[in-house]
Structure 1
Amino acid sequence: MSRRLRAFRRWMRSQGIECSNALEIIDGGYEQGFSVKALCGLAEGDLVATIPKSACLTIQTSAARDIIEDAGLAGLLGLAVALMYEKSLGEASAWAGYLQLLPDRECVPLVWTLDELDSLLYGTELHKAVKEDKNLFYEDWKECILPLIANGPFKLNPNCFGVEQYFAARSLISSRSFEIDDYHGSGMVPLADLFNHKTGDENIHFTSVSSHSGSGSDNDLEDNRDGSCINKLSTEDHHFRENTSSSSLSGKYSLNDNHVGYSPNYEDDPTALEIIIVKAVEAGAEVFNTYGSMGNAALLHRYGFTEPDNPFDIVNIELDTVLEWTKSLYSSRYVRARLSLWRRLRFSGCVGLTSEYFEISSDDMVREALKSLADIRESFYGESIEDDIEVLKRGCLMLERKLYHSLTLRMSETRIIQKLRAYASPASRRTKRTYTRKR
């Protein structure tokens, strides 16, 4: 067991966090991160951990609570200040044993350089979105956090609250925070954020119950990392949604017949978070969480990784691209008239922060014109998919992390475009449909 993991386990005990000895936390180093493995078979319904809400790093529990409230901050912006403040305290922080586990920043595109964004993500769904993120987050820092450093009475260390530190904090929050409850809002949940993601095949679930409610009913928490709305990736606080469920109870774990037994003890811990097995796990297997059903663009945007052959991948074609293609066939007057009629019928594409677009998946296609639109959309990448495939074939495991995941994203999107082109070809016998929606 690594030194930092031993320190984390000591810290968990001091905070009343209880983790079944049926789980083993694997430390893969700062590059590989952590994973959780089952040491024995786990059955559906087994309760494998409880985490007191007081052990979660939130605006309400942070030593920076007064600073945040006096500044009128809230949401993920306020949580970022709480996280930066606790990190600035070093060993004096109540979360020092937890924070020493975390990387300085998560390798999400938000913290990539502009040169990296242009060279690695050009043409993909993320290229413009992440640049917008950077601009909006910089404005947040300039308007809300810089005044605390320059004029605030709290004597904050500028080296701990600079724009780089803010971006780093937001990268950690994007990839690790959970929505806990109405009082705490979003927060960092130690132990819960060590479980890795597996699309559609999770083993655990977070749930929240009140031990004094009398009903004993569980309340699933909204998973802030849910990917149900991943069309155009927004940077507003309420669009950064993390993945969880939470729960309350306290007690002692025991191992019985290779399964986890749990004896509740409500007196000391009226509200806590529970981690429950929802799909059986074999001994020696990794225990997975899920961050939601989302494509590679959303996974890379929020968590810094991709999944090969992800069934939830999408590609967006903006309305402006459709109009430009249409003008190559018809007069501008005719195109404007048809668009006006479409609007009067109250139809629209998907609407993002800065554009209107059509969402294309690997299974759902739209109209015959898509063959030409596919050619236009594919031209955005500037390089052929054959070149990308050759790079990955030469040794994907040895590639630098950013290059590997950006190549995977580009290949995922290109495959959708190729399927779109094949569907729109004369040889296709499938019925072509136009996907629009009433406003």
Structure 2
Amino acid sequence: MTESLTVMFMPESAYGPTNQCIGLGKVLLDRGHRVVFAAEASWAGRLEPFGFVEALVDLAEPDPDAEEGAAGQFWIDFVNETAPEFARPTRDQLASFVQPTYDALVTGARYAEPRLREIIAEHRPDVIVEDNVVSFPALMTSDAAFVRIVSCNPLEVRGDDIPPVFSGYPMADRSQWVDFLAEFDRVHADTWTEWDAWCREQGAPPLPPRAFMHTSPTANIYVYPRELDYTDARPLDDTWHRIDSSVRETDEDYDLPPELADRPDGSGLVYLSLGSLGGADVELMQRLIDVLGTSRHRVVVSMGPRADELRLADNMSGAATVPQTKVIPQVDLVITHGGNNTTTEAMHFGKPMVVLPLFWDQYDNAQRVDELGYGVRLPTYAFSDDDLLGAVDRLLADTDLRTRLDAIGADIRARDGVRRGAEIIERVGLDHRGDR
């Protein structure tokens, strides 16, 4: 039997990174290891049922008068308030969304630092796994081994021959890259300089240019299918490990309602989700529902945190949350915001995508899916009814693409990314314990 380790995860508070870590953590738990989640406090009571130890962290001073919200409520509120910015070009969003997001993240990390040091001292992990886009120095300066996970688009790991992260620019056209990077530097210079100095004061090494997150000298894992990857243009050193998908096995089963399972000839089954954060944009969600309600296809809708404000059409069924990893295998097409989890899960199950990006790396995933022919990117706030309905009909009718994606999905599933990721973390922990 493998020697038992204590593995501590600290995911960013949104559903994507947290669910990704839940999948890895469950495999490690089943292999006999103790798994601690240093999760943001709004996840209280949601991790313990899986068998994990909850060691919760506040990222800001708790409000004693606040009502209990959804997991990741801070980011749901933040995105909902910032949603008008998402209709702007990605270059403009650097100042209006990306920089304020980084500022909020680093402020939260500073606040959490003392609590994280307490958690590490209490639980004495052998290996600490961080899935975030900013560093938490306590995690990488402890006696434990440190593993970084990139569960966003891997353009986050920068290189000269790949588009700038957050841009959504194509690989084949470099004409806007330099200007975008210059604007990134202009907007983020002060925040980055202050953050780098603070991390050094906590004992962390210097940050790489333009990066708000350190790379582990031991092991870094990124989640992205080989079929979408950029490694031909930006090779990585041997500390980096790609896992092609990280599909959790903790979702409950999903039975299609009879009205969706029994559908007329020529109709397809579509899954619509803008993720836990994008789903907070009620106006956009309702427009998508209304347009798809005119199609002959059937639709499963993940309605999001404001589900009670949405009205589904007669050809739909949905709920605030649905077990996504059990829904996607049953559908023919995925309409998504392009979050990394949904993008990799759609590829894992071999489904074409219509991608409507909102923020952060979603533009990069949308562009990559479109330019490699696995789906269609649409302008999220400027698409016409015919744009959406036409893209859905074309993708569902493209039997060659669906055959090709069936084969790709089978290949990705055979690579068993979630177990490979868990084995990498386990090996790092065992090696580190042996070196102590």
**TM-score for both structures, normalised by structure 1:** 0.31
The structure with the largest helix share of the pair is 2
TM-score of the pair, normalised by structure 2: 0.31
Greater Rg, structure 1 or structure 2?
1
